[in-house]
Amino acid sequence: MRLLSLVPGLAVLAGPAYAELVFCNETAVKASVAIGYVDDGVWTSEGWWGVQPFDCTTVVSGDLSKRYYYWRATNTHGAFDTENYAFCTTSKAFTIAGDENCEDRGYRREKFSESDTNNAKSWTITLTEAAAPAGTSDEESNGMASGHAQDATPGPSGGGGTADPDPAAHMRHDFLAEPGTHGEPYSIRAWFDHCTYQGDDLLCTFTADTGWRYVASTADPTDPIFFGDFQFLPSGAMVDLSGDMISYAGDTAQITIREWALAPEEGMETTDSDPFAAPASDLSGLQEFLQGYWMSDDDSAYYWIVQGNQLDEIYDGNLMQRSFFELAPSCSASYGQGPVIIAWPDPDEGDGPTCYLVTETGPRSLGLANVIVGRDLSFTYSN
């Protein structure tokens, strides 16, 4: 599954008849471009060049001396389609020698696509909203109808240009690397929270058990197709994830995802430490209903803010308690009644979670019963 509106396509079409590497932007949004190439046997990356909407920018002037060029293009909606050729980048202007140990050197490691120029002196890459990758040299396209393209097929370097190493040796499939390649292996069952852009990177967040957040980013070695899938998941969907834990700080872990799947209908496995032992079910409708601001009907200074699986209790403008919750058909304290909201406080001081029985869901109303302390709550939607 792929969200094409967030990951525009690309085509390489006929371009100017003089010697250079040119990027043309056939979209209505400004694009930023970076390139990669081999320089005296060293994989090198450079960026960024801005390409205005419906305009062209020269990135390399003069006769092209290389057969293979690699490139990455982004705009405010995210990255254009990429392949699995990885180079180091930064958010500012850069020239970086070497494509290894990017993070250790303070860079990001991001995916690029490849263009095989077949040793042409000029090459134009045109960014379009939705088109398959293809290529043609300016010499070949002279006099041809606009839009003609020849498939760009990787191959050994021929005469007339600098011989590049085998491009296949540079292709990265790090998201299929052995467990432990990028950190401590993990396997969890979690609830999908949301995806959001941070600069050019798409970050997807998952919440598990006691409020731990697991964040996967397009900047890390995770199959980019997964992120298209995640953007179609409803908030609160339960999933099984496995991969490597790159790092963690506080209650948040940065992860790669090697495999993922929707969790079975029976939901989370229960453990002796789980005081509710409640199976999960499809409660995505309730999850969506809860999103937003809820003002207490009993005290206007008290309200809830629900974002994804995060619940903030606010009183008089101050945060009283932050919790991370799951939805379940029932909890042990509700004696089979449901559905319920099981909220784990952050930080967890050992008191365990609170179970709220959902007693009413009206057009703008929410009724709850805190079955732990025996208190009824009533809210009105205030967005």
- Asked if residue 343 has pLDDT above 60, the reply is yes
Q: What is the pLDDT of residue 268?
A: 38
What band does 378 get if pLDDT is binned at 50, 70 and 90? very high
- The pLDDT score that the predictor gives to residue 228 is 75
The alpha carbon of residue 161 and the mean position of all alpha carbons in its chain are separated, in whole angstroms, by 37
Backbone angles phi, psi at 172, to 5 degrees: -110, 135
- The pLDDT of 2-19, averaged and rounded, is 37
Location of structure tokens 């001081």: 349
Rounded to the nearest integer, the mean pLDDT of the chain is 74
Spell out the alpha helix ranges (H) of the chain.
138-141, 224-230, 284-290
DSSP assignments along 128-180, one per residue: -SS----B-BHHHHTTSPTT--B--------TTSBPPPPGGGGB--GGGSPTT
| 194: number of Cβ within 10 Å | 18
User: Which of 5-9, 92-96, 131-135, 147-151 bottoms out in mean pLDDT, i.e. has the lowest?
Assistant: 147-151
- Pick the more confident residue, 131 or 60: 60
Nearest Cα residue to 344 out of 359, 360, 328, 329: 328
| Angle at CA of residue 358, ends 357 and 364, nearest 5° | 150
Q: Of the CATH numbers 3.90.1170.50, 2.40.128.280, 3.30.2010.20, 2.40.37.20, which one belongs to the domain with range 284-381?
A: 2.40.128.280
Query: pLDDT band at residue 131, thresholds of 50, 70 and 90?
Result: very low
- Does the structure show a pLDDT above 50 at 133? no
**Among residues of the chain, what percentage have pLDDT more than 90?**
15
From the list 121, 118, 156, the residue with the least C-alpha distance to 135 is 118
- pLDDT at position 276, please? 36
Tokens of 196: 């959001």
Query: Helix or strand or coil: residue 307?
Result: strand
Residue intervals in the chain for CATH 2.40.128.280? 284-381
Q: For residue 250, what pLDDT band results from cuts at 50, 70 and 90?
A: confident
Structure-block tokens of residue 216: 């996967």
- pLDDT given for residue 130 in this prediction: 58
Lowest-confidence segment of 17-21, 129-133, 196-200, 353-357 by average pLDDT: 129-133
Amino acid at 240: D
- Is the distance from CB of 39 to CB of 142 less than 8 angstroms? no
Please list the residue range(s) of the chain that carry CATH number 2.40.50.140.
184-262
pLDDT of 294 above 60: yes
pLDDT in tens, 24-36: 988 877 888 999 9
Q: Is 203 in contact with 216 (CB distance < 8 Å)?
A: yes
Q: How confident is the model at residue 176 (pLDDT cuts 50, 70, 90)?
A: low
Its sign, for the CA torsion 39, 42, 48, 51, is positive
Specify whether the CB–CB gap between 261 and 239 falls below 8 A. Answer: yes
From residue 181, alpha-carbon distances to 99, 176, 186, 300 in Å are: 17, 10, 12, 52
Q: Does pLDDT of 121 surpass 80?
A: yes
Tell me: domain 184-262, CATH 3.40.50.300, correct?
Answer: no
Instruction: Summarize pLDDT for 270-289 with one digit per residue, the tens.
Output: 333 333 333 334 577 788 88
* Residue keyed to tokens 């609170």: 354
